[in-house]
Structure 1
Amino acid sequence: MANYTDWNQALIDYFIKGTPHGTKIYLSVDEDVIERIGYHFGQSSTNVIWVNDFCIAVRIKVIFEGQVNLQHLKGRDSQGLPKGVAFLCATILAASQMAQEEKTSETNYFKRLREILALDGFARPLGMKFGNEAEEPLWREWNRWLMEDRFLPSAQRGGGAATYINYPISQSLLRRTDKDRLRKLFQEKQWQAEWDAQTLFAHVRREAGAFGIHLKDLLTENKQRHEAIVEALHQVYEQWKAQGCPTADKNNYCTWSRHLFCGLYRTEEPFLGQVDYYLYPKQQRGRSLESVEVKQGDNLHLLREERPGWYFPLEYSVSQKELDNGAKYQISSPNDLDYLILPARDFWILIPDAENPDSGAYASWQAPSLGTEFILLCKQELVSDIERLRDEHLLKSSCTPQPIFNNSGWVELQQCMVVSQAWDGVFIKNQALKDALQPSVKLLISFSGGLRVPKIGAWLVNHGPQITIFGFYSTAELKVTRLSDNQIILESSQSTNTSIRLDFSDPGHYLIEATFAGESSQRLVKIVDWDELAIEKYVHPEVMAINSEYHIFGSVIGQIF
């Protein structure tokens, strides 16, 4: 049996490992997730019902004399992890079970939470006082830890009777009944194509009319959870295929996808203007995979992590044929993976590197954020759709599409940016393109400039970033709090889409909050002192021989003596 600490760490790993920085994190826990995590605790224990094991571990930790005691779950453990995550996941498990009913209420939620905690009754359990003295500090600690680790929190309080139960409800994405309905759809349509997440979403969305209210709302209405839903759908699809496409009642919920997917990494030769695209392998979320070897042509590549969520790009550029038709590259190790897949797509969205915006690199890291210029690589037939979006003043881009391959149907549009939120009344031929470009938020905090500290996502004291609130409103309320002493250092109304510079004169973490008309955005700034800088190891430059006398050393041509 795994204890509470084991479950706490495993659950955090499941939602963080392989996840790119900047991702909004949802603790979407249900029986499937618990069983998958538990299976990898001890694969020899085939008869263990891991949901029961998890619930017992939580009860042992928090139930004392028939009451809930959360005091010892506040704060962080010796590894710096929030201690309350496993309990929060128990509350989300209750919410996922309750979500099978169309109507949400405190009674339904606490009835299921009491079942998980083995307590009788229907109301809020004894010991869980209403408000700040109960579970809310655990949520705040989790949200703060996420921001310190450069992720975006999603859990938030509600209003009225749902003030505190909205925290777990906001985390529950796909229910068991939703997943069963999706698997049934996959089987009915006989879908087995190697689609990536965005392409699958476009196909599923066309079938939304046949779904229940909850799943239909997630697919068509809930823009703020769009990216999380897209990833969740793809995980269900890949898991279903890995099991051999079974019926909904014959699923093995412990199965992982047998494939890795890749995006594109763009480079441009600065003098000749030559543009090349490279395979950019994505890590599997929630899973640690070591010594992954991929065969590309006659060459074998060992994948190495470049950043959370991504491996380094492969060595050889992508051909027009691969871009046209997609491609599969055999994975020789480990044995439970089959292929690295470049999906066949009509378009790719490439954004600048948020870790190093001055590098000039573009890749398919994520959907474009408000205020971010991006490059759109697409087939020629999509240009009419893009022109329609420009005519409707939803999208701006450079005027002339630039061809990528000689005599090919692929073009690039540079300096693209979403400039409006009024997308609902506009229709184009390629719905997937609209889904990918339509903004999911109306307010976003962005950082730029300053002196960045590589690899840790921080800025140097007195050289912090400029802050810009991007949004579709003219102003927003800005609040900056120093977390070490909860001191508010700025609280004012600021114009949107205009950068401001603040005086970050003390090291520490600063919470930046922007709000307007019910919309909100949060980011955390980490400021470090100069003595926290580490000296980088000297790396010998790459050497290429020109002739017997001269060699190129990085960017320097030198003579051999």
Structure 2
Amino acid sequence: MANYTEWNQALISYFLKGVPRGSKIYLSVDDDVLARMGQGFFLTLSGSDNWSDDFQEAIRKAVIVDKQVNLNPIQGRDENDSPNCVAFLGACVLTAYRMANEEEISQLNYFKRLREILPLPGSLRPQGMKSGKEAEEPLWKAWNYWLWEQGFQPSAYPGRGPQKYINYPISQCLLRQADKDKLQVLFATKQWTVPWDAQTLLTQIRRESLSHHLRELVMENKQRTEIVAEVIHEVYQQWQVQGCPATPNKVGRTWSPNLFAGLYRTEDPFLGQVDYYLYPKQQRGRQLELVQVEYENRTQALSEERPGWYLPIGNPLRVDDLEQGLRCSVVSPPELDQLILPARDFWLLIPDAENPDSGVYASWGTPELGTPFILLCKQELLNDIYRLRDERLLAWSGEPEPIAENSNWVELIQCLVTSQAYDGVFIDNQTLKDALQPNVRLSISFSGGLRVPNQRGWLAGHPPHVTVFGFAPRVELEVKSLLDEQVVLTRSQKTNHPLSLELPGTGLYLVRATYGKESAERLVRILDWNSLEISEPERREFMNIGDKYSICGSMILPIP
């Protein structure tokens, strides 16, 4: 049986492994997640074949003393500087999932379910768990703060009234088991077997008749769109692995055998030559030691380029590869089958947030408001794109340029979404409209200053400028120190205009912009000069000079 500490570390790894920095993290623990974790992180069970029971037993042994809850052992951080509370918080989310599957959401039902997991008799707040302000909330705040430190965005937040504290775990729930069952029935009814990516699948689902909860997830709650699309895509792949059953199955308890790839774009600054490369994406939550694929008639090992992505591989893609997509066999590990570049009509490519001056663009996600991006698309989409421009929803620089002679694919550069009023406009390609339509009304961008990319911060005395992009004329801006929660700046700020940040010293600061019920947050880390670290290069490029020596940067070395 895995103990509490092992489950705690496994949960942290599962929800952060393969996740790009800056992503919003949902601690969405359910029975399917625990089963996949058990398969991926542990070797044996404690006598049953149920990973949920194993997890619950570990929680009980850690926090139950004399039939009371004692949260002292899970305070603080472990030897790896990770929060000790994550497994207990995962149990709270598991409670919220089970309540949401069957019952009306209320404080009474929540604690009744939590007592079943612990297990304790009764139905009210368990003994030992004081008020939510003293018991659960400090643990959620510790988890949120740690996520900010690691470069991620937390998603757990309190509610109002009687549900103030139980809203923390409720806010982490995404797809319920009933939702997964309904999606499987939809997949089977429509006989969908195409290897769509997450965005394309989401567009297909939005066209169908859905339950109230599913429709709210995929249509109305736009701030969760990206993570919900990923979770639905997991269900879709796992359903296919099970042979596309006609009736709901426990498909969430298996891993997908496929990796997916996006595009990585480079441009020669002197010749203007643009090339696209196959850019493999890591699987979220899965520990894979060595991945090798058969590509261009040779076996190529995948190396991590950044969290969430492997290094681009192979030679520049051909136009036919964009047109038809690619499928490459995975040589190892044996549990993986293929690396898939989906056949798509368009790609959105955004600049590198960690190194915006590199000139590199890739399919790293949805463009944020105010961030210029490149739209790579088939010429057949130009009528739709011109329609969006005429409706003042989209703007770009110059004319569409073919990526190769006689190519059906063109690029539009310096694209910007200029309005959120997409609902009243209809174009032929609904997937394009869904990809371009903003999910939020506000976003925060940093520019300038003296950036320290490898430490994800800026040097003291040289902070960045902050710009709030949005469609409202002004927002309320607040900057708060996360260490002592002291507010250091409040002001009314014009949108789309940069503001020089004046910060009192080093540390972590949360920048929040608010307009009505809409808000956006970004973390800025200010570093002291003495805290600078020398980073080893991720890879070295050698060029041979004759038969005996090679040159690497400023060093001339003998050829081994």
Common fold by TM > 0.5: yes
| 1:451/1:463 contact within 8 Å kept | yes
Q: Do structure 1's residue 440 and structure 2's residue 455 form an aligned pair?
A: no
Please state whether the residue corresponding to 2:397 is helix, strand or coil.
Answer: coil
Call closer, same or farther: CA 1:101–1:387 in 2, change over 3 Å: farther
Cross-structure match for 2:393: 394
Please state whether the residue corresponding to 2:399 is helix, strand or coil.
Answer: coil
Matches within 5 A, 1:353-432: 353-432=352-431
Provide Cα deviations, 1:351-380, integer angstroms capped at 9, x if missing partner: 000000000000000100111010000111
Q: Distance in 2 between matches of 1:250 and 1:233?
A: 15
Matches within 5 A, 1:111-190: 111-190=112-191
The offset of 1:107, in angstroms, is 2.4
Cross-structure match for 1:4: 4
Provide Cα deviations, 1:154-203, integer angstroms capped at 9, x if missing partner: 11111222212211111100011111111222222222211111111111
Cross-structure match for 1:25: 25
Q: Partner letter of residue 288 of structure 1? A: Q
Call closer, same or farther: CA 1:20–1:519 in 2, change over 3 Å: same
The offset of 1:393, in angstroms, is 1.6
Call closer, same or farther: CA 1:9–1:477 in 2, change over 3 Å: same
Q: Distance in 1 between matches of 2:498 and 2:491?
A: 14
Q: Partner letter of residue 156 of structure 2? A: A
The offset of 1:253, in angstroms, is 4.0
Cross-structure match for 2:89: 88
| 1:543/1:554 contact within 8 Å kept | no
Cross-structure match for 1:462: 461
Q: Distance in 1 between matches of 2:416 and 2:248?
A: 45
Q: Distance in 1 between matches of 2:255 and 2:464?
A: 40
Q: Partner letter of residue 108 of structure 2? A: T
Q: Partner letter of residue 269 of structure 1? A: D
Provide Cα deviations, 1:98-147, integer angstroms capped at 9, x if missing partner: 22257422222222222212123333333333342121111111111111
Matches within 5 A, 1:303-382: 303-382=302-381
| 2:38/2:51 contact within 8 Å kept | yes
The offset of 1:150, in angstroms, is 0.8
| 1:70/1:135 contact within 8 Å kept | no
Cross-structure match for 1:98: 99
The offset of 1:236, in angstroms, is 0.8
Q: Distance in 2 between matches of 1:470 and 1:126?
A: 47
Q: Distance in 2 between matches of 1:537 and 1:125?
A: 50
Q: Distance in 2 between matches of 1:151 and 1:144?
A: 10
Q: Distance in 2 between matches of 1:216 and 1:143?
A: 28
| 2:189/2:246 contact within 8 Å kept | no
Matches within 5 A, 1:136-285: 136-207=137-208, 209=209, 211-251=210-250, 253-285=252-284
Q: Do structure 1's residue 502 and structure 2's residue 501 form an aligned pair?
A: yes
| 2:133/2:165 contact within 8 Å kept | no
Q: Do structure 1's residue 66 and structure 2's residue 101 form an aligned pair?
A: no
Provide Cα deviations, 1:378-426, integer angstroms capped at 9, x if missing partner: 1111111111211222221124111112212111111111122222222
Q: Distance in 2 between matches of 1:452 and 1:339?
A: 38
Cross-structure match for 2:110: 109
Please state whether the residue corresponding to 2:347 is helix, strand or coil.
Answer: strand
The offset of 1:445, in angstroms, is 1.8
Q: Partner letter of residue 200 of structure 1? A: L
| 1:395/1:416 contact within 8 Å kept | yes
Q: Distance in 1 between matches of 2:207 and 2:25?
A: 26
Q: Distance in 2 between matches of 1:122 and 1:520?
A: 36
Q: Distance in 1 between matches of 2:423 and 2:68?
A: 49
Q: Distance in 2 between matches of 1:501 and 1:375?
A: 28
State which drifts further: 427-436 or 236-245: 236-245
Q: Distance in 2 between matches of 1:167 and 1:215?
A: 21
Please state whether the residue corresponding to 2:314 is helix, strand or coil.
Answer: coil
The offset of 1:278, in angstroms, is 0.4
Call closer, same or farther: CA 1:513–1:193 in 2, change over 3 Å: same
Please state whether the residue corresponding to 1:455 is helix, strand or coil.
Answer: helix
Q: Partner letter of residue 115 of structure 1? A: E
Please state whether the residue corresponding to 2:478 is helix, strand or coil.
Answer: strand
Q: Distance in 2 between matches of 1:141 and 1:107?
A: 25
Q: Partner letter of residue 63 of structure 1? A: I
Q: Distance in 2 between matches of 1:343 and 1:293?
A: 19
The offset of 1:292, in angstroms, is 0.9
The offset of 1:22, in angstroms, is 1.1
Cross-structure match for 1:39: 39
Provide Cα deviations, 1:71-91, integer angstroms capped at 9, x if missing partner: 443322221111111111111
The offset of 1:554, in angstroms, is 7.2
Q: Distance in 2 between matches of 1:44 and 1:70?
A: 27
Q: Distance in 1 between matches of 2:294 and 2:553?
A: 28
Please state whether the residue corresponding to 1:55 is helix, strand or coil.
Answer: helix
Q: Distance in 2 between matches of 1:288 and 1:281?
A: 15
Q: Distance in 2 between matches of 1:247 and 1:10?
A: 33
| 2:397/2:412 contact within 8 Å kept | yes
Cross-structure match for 2:533: 534
Q: Partner letter of residue 415 of structure 1? A: Q
Call closer, same or farther: CA 1:412–1:436 in 2, change over 3 Å: same
Please state whether the residue corresponding to 1:232 is helix, strand or coil.
Answer: helix
Q: Distance in 2 between matches of 1:535 and 1:398?
A: 39
Q: Distance in 1 between matches of 2:159 and 2:286?
A: 32
State which drifts further: 258-267 or 386-395: 386-395
Q: Do structure 1's residue 478 and structure 2's residue 481 form an aligned pair?
A: no
State which drifts further: 260-269 or 415-424: 415-424
Q: Partner letter of residue 110 of structure 1? A: F
Cross-structure match for 1:559: none
Structure 2: gaps (5+ residues)? 556-560
Please state whether the residue corresponding to 1:35 is helix, strand or coil.
Answer: helix
Please state whether the residue corresponding to 1:413 is helix, strand or coil.
Answer: strand
| 1:462/1:505 contact within 8 Å kept | no
Provide Cα deviations, 1:284-310, integer angstroms capped at 9, x if missing partner: 000121221112122321110000000
Q: Distance in 2 between matches of 1:532 and 1:372?
A: 30
Please state whether the residue corresponding to 2:159 is helix, strand or coil.
Answer: coil
Q: Distance in 1 between matches of 2:154 and 2:96?
A: 18
Q: Do structure 1's residue 13 and structure 2's residue 13 form an aligned pair?
A: yes
Q: Distance in 1 between matches of 2:409 and 2:201?
A: 22
The offset of 1:68, in angstroms, is 2.4
Q: Distance in 2 between matches of 1:471 and 1:76?
A: 38
Q: Distance in 1 between matches of 2:168 and 2:103?
A: 18
State which drifts further: 312-321 or 532-541: 532-541
| 1:463/1:504 contact within 8 Å kept | no
Q: Distance in 2 between matches of 1:102 and 1:267?
A: 52
Q: Distance in 1 between matches of 2:140 and 2:181?
A: 30
Call closer, same or farther: CA 1:168–1:540 in 2, change over 3 Å: closer
Call closer, same or farther: CA 1:146–1:408 in 2, change over 3 Å: same
Call closer, same or farther: CA 1:552–1:403 in 2, change over 3 Å: farther
Q: Partner letter of residue 517 of structure 2? A: G
Q: Distance in 2 between matches of 1:350 and 1:380?
A: 17
Matches within 5 A, 1:545-560: none
Q: Partner letter of residue 145 of structure 1? A: W
Q: Distance in 2 between matches of 1:253 and 1:503?
A: 48
The offset of 1:537, in angstroms, is 4.9
Call closer, same or farther: CA 1:441–1:85 in 2, change over 3 Å: same
Structure 1: gaps (5+ residues)? 557-561
